[in-house]
Amino acid sequence: MTNPSSRIVFLFPGQGSQAVGMGKDLADHHPVARQTFEEADEALGYKLSQVCFEGPEEKLKLTEITQPAILTASVAAWRVLREKGLRPDFVAGHSLGEYSAHVAAGTLTFADALRTVRNRGKYMQEAVPVGVGAMAAILGMPFDKVSQISQDAAQGEVCQPANINSPEQVVISGHAGAVGRAIKLATERGAKKAVSLPVSAPFHCSLMQPAQDRLAADLGALGFHDPSCPVVCNVDAALVDSANASREALIRQVTGAVRWEPSVRLLINQGAGLLIEVGPGKVLWGLMRQIDRSKTCSTVGDEASLQKTLEQIAALAA
């Protein structure tokens, strides 16, 4: 597609998009998707495919299984799109999804990404004892106000914006006490809603420093390539186009905030015409509707959504 306002962007989901059965429909219809799950089973040394397709949900929810599971389902969907001749002009991913984006851009091999995100999940889980940290979603309050509330609630503890998801949604992360105080302050200061999130650790804040240090050693040992198309990195909401910048961004991402809304706005400024959520769920599609409803956004997670997206692309090209 040569029209700059019809540029195609692939968006890859992060943790929270998992569901039992994910990827199975595409694996049943497309050998390349089935092969992706087989590769994952081999790289990890256990039947990840079985956990994705059949559950149990409790197992799929374990962070060190969730992360490679979502990555695999996303890469399977991306490979099906690639087989259909679809090449993105840009790629981006939400937190964990940034690894899927780098696999799609050729920065990292699928097997390396799988083993890395399994360890990433493990390190994040082990960085903070269970119950010490917490996360909360603040809805219907602008980022600068949420940022101020986080500072006011900290009182010597950690409380930081962790996900700048949309104009409607900012997630905060830190010590359980501080996050609790922030929920109370947000409610008092006019947030539409402030709710604690059912997460196993306080992701994307400075409490994750031990996980970041361990992951930095792993990423430092891996071979990175320059991406074949620009990748938007969460931590800066900026385009990375080199191997070193990609590695550095993935390291800093562990303690840094996921700047999703600024990332999407950057893509829109770059001429994004069609944004496709590639992988399980519709979380990013939902956020897109809060950021800019004028853009065409679709999802590819199963055979029905794939066919619908291919029809959309054909209509845009006509």
- Cα–Cα dist 127/119, whole Å: 12
Is the N-terminal amide bond of 31 cis, ω within 30° of 0? no
Question: Are 121 and 138 in the same domain?
Answer: no
Question: Are 168 and 143 in the same domain?
Answer: yes
Domain of residue 178, residue span: 133-199
Catalytic residues, by residue number, are 95, 204
Q: Is the pLDDT of residue 34 over 90?
A: yes
Question: Are 193 and 222 in the same domain?
Answer: no
Residue pLDDT, tens place only, 228-264: 999 999 999 999 999 999 999 999 999 999 999 999 9
- Cα–Cα dist 21/23, whole Å: 6
Which CATH number do you get for residue 153?
Answer: 3.30.70.250
Of 175, 199, 223, the position where a domain reaches its end is 199
For the chain, how far is it from start to end, CA to CA, in angstroms? 11
Q: Is the pLDDT of residue 317 over 60?
A: yes
Of 199, 228, 243, the position where a domain reaches its end is 199
**Which token pair is 83?**
């087989």
- Cα–Cα dist 141/164, whole Å: 11
Pairing of strands 169-175, 133-139: antiparallel
The pLDDT value recorded for residue 5 is: 54
- pTM, entire model: 0.95
Handedness of CA 71, 8, 231, 237 (dihedral sign): negative
Question: Are 117 and 184 in the same domain?
Answer: no
Average pLDDT, the chain: 95
Question: Are 91 and 228 in the same domain?
Answer: yes
Question: Are 15 and 159 in the same domain?
Answer: no
Residue pLDDT, tens place only, 47-85: 999 999 999 999 998 888 999 999 999 999 999 999 999
The pLDDT value recorded for residue 6 is: 75
| pLDDT above 90 coverage of the chain, percent | 91
Helical ranges in the chain per DSSP H:
24-29, 31-44, 48-54, 57-60, 63-83, 97-104, 110-127, 143-154, 176-188, 209-220, 243-252, 260-269, 283-291, 303-317
DSSP 258: B
Handedness of CA 247, 44, 64, 276 (dihedral sign): positive
Q: Is the pLDDT of residue 2 over 60?
A: no
- Cα–Cα dist 218/197, whole Å: 29
Please tell me the total count of domains within the chain: 2
- Residue 57: count other Cβ atoms within 10 Å of its Cβ: 10
- Cα–Cα dist 215/24, whole Å: 30
Question: Are 259 and 311 in the same domain?
Answer: yes
Which CATH number do you get for residue 69?
Answer: 3.40.366.10
Residue pLDDT, tens place only, 170-212: 999 999 999 999 999 999 999 999 999 988 899 999 999 999 9
Residue pLDDT, tens place only, 105-155: 999 999 999 999 999 999 999 999 988 999 999 999 999 999 999 999 999
Residue pLDDT, tens place only, 81-99: 999 999 999 999 999 999 9
Question: Are 94 and 157 in the same domain?
Answer: no
Question: Are 112 and 261 in the same domain?
Answer: yes
Residue 318's pLDDT band (cuts 50, 70, 90): confident
Q: Are 205 and 135 in contact (CB under 8 A)?
A: no
Which helix (H) or strand (E) is 162 found in, with range?
strand 159-166
Q: Is the pLDDT of residue 1 over 60?
A: no
